[in-house]
């Protein structure tokens, strides 16, 4: 079976609960401070590993206590960390989270998450991955690097899974290098200009992204479930009712689980495309090999 590789962020999350969000200049009482390993990339890697997928994390942390704790947490969850870089040039990424009534507000300091460049990421994939493996990435690392890695990994035969979060506009020439794009309602509005308030909206948004070149689309809809489009068929997935305590990493968990299920053949969203877009093909890059 294929393996799951995650190129993405690792942050130490400092999370505090409050009865309401503070106004500008206001200090309010908080409670239940939590210090937890996080970052979208690490969250997705842990979710995939806990679902049984052989998962490898490609990213960077600082040479500080938070970095060591993050590496240990990934290893404990079953994630391969041999391609996790340590840098003395930047601190480990940090997220400050305020949570209330199942909602949250997050402020990020990227730190070491911006340390890696595409050549270093592709060197790790050359050593450990092979065509048919999955690569998941987001936008909490250096954005031009992320776009470059997506394109080069796709051209090398990996199945590319793109989570455009935090959302920003992606160059149109990137989309043919994306086999599956997974995004939430807000990100959908930013990326394609259509917020999926209804099934018709979600269908139009998914078709818009596929028309740009993406192979398939998964849209998470919070308490309304999710929507999937494989380039041919639009499917609505009903939610599983739960009592939300903290929505942090809910979307990351969804994506990690989806990747694990695809990897073991339980679901197959990405259509097989017989060619790679020549506009993004690297000048010279061998197929990845298993190390």
The residues carrying an active-site annotation are 252
Give the 3-state secondary structure of residue 150: helix
Instruction: State both tokens at 43.
Output: 């969250």
Burial 102-111 (b: 16+ CB within 10 A, else e): eebeeebebb
150, 180 contact by CB (below 8 A):
no
Beta-sheet strands, E only, within the chain: 4-7, 11-18, 30-38, 55-62, 84-87, 93-100, 103-109, 134-137, 159-162, 180-184, 216-220, 226-229, 234-237
Q: Within the chain, where are the H helices?
A: 40-50, 65-76, 118-128, 143-155, 185-192, 199-212, 250-263
CA-angle at 121, arms to 161 and 88, nearest 5°: 125
Give Cα 274 distance to the centre of its chain.
Answer: 25
Max CA distance (Å), the chain? 57
Instruction: State both tokens at 40.
Output: 């979208």
The order of strands in the sheet holding 180-184 is: 84-87, 55-62, 4-7, 134-137, 159-162, 180-184, 216-220, 226-229, 234-237
- The rounded distance, in Å, linking the Cα atoms of 84 and 71 is 8
């Amino acid at each position: 079976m294929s393996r799951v590789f995650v190129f993405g962020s690792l942050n130490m999350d400092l999370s505090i609960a409050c009865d309401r969000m503070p106004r500008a200049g206001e200090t309010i009482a908080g409670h239940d401070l939590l210090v937890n390993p996080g970052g979208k990339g690490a969250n997705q890697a842990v979710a995939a590993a806990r679902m049984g997928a052989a998962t490898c994390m490609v990213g960077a942390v600082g040479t500080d206590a938070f970095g060591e704790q993050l590496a240990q947490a990934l290893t404990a969850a079953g994630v391969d960390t041999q391609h996790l870089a340590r840098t003395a040039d930047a601190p480990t990424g940090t997220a400050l989270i305020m949570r209330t009534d199942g909602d949250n507000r997050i402020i990020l300091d990227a730190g070491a998450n911006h340390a890696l460049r595409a050549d270093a990421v592709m060197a790790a994939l050359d050593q450990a991955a092979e065509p048919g493996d999955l690569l998941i990435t987001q936008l909490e690392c250096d954005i031009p690097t992320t776009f470059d890695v997506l394109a080069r990994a796709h051209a090398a035969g990996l199945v590319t899974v793109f989570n455009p979060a935090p959302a920003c506009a992606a160059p149109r020439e990137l989309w043919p290098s994306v086999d599956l794009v997974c995004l939430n309602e807000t990100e959908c509005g930013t990326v394609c200009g259509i917020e999926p308030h209804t099934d018709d909206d979600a269908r139009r948004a998914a078709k818009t992204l596929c028309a740009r070149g993406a192979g398939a689309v998964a849209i998470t809809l919070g308490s309304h479930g999710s929507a999937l489009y494989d380039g041919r068929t639009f499917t609505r997935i009903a939610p599983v009712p739960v009592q939300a305590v903290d929505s942090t990493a809910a979307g990351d968990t969804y994506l990690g689980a989806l990747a694990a299920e695809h990897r073991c053949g339980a679901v197959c969203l990405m259509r097989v495309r017989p060619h790679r877009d020549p506009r993004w093909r690297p000048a010279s890059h061998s197929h990845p090999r298993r190390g």
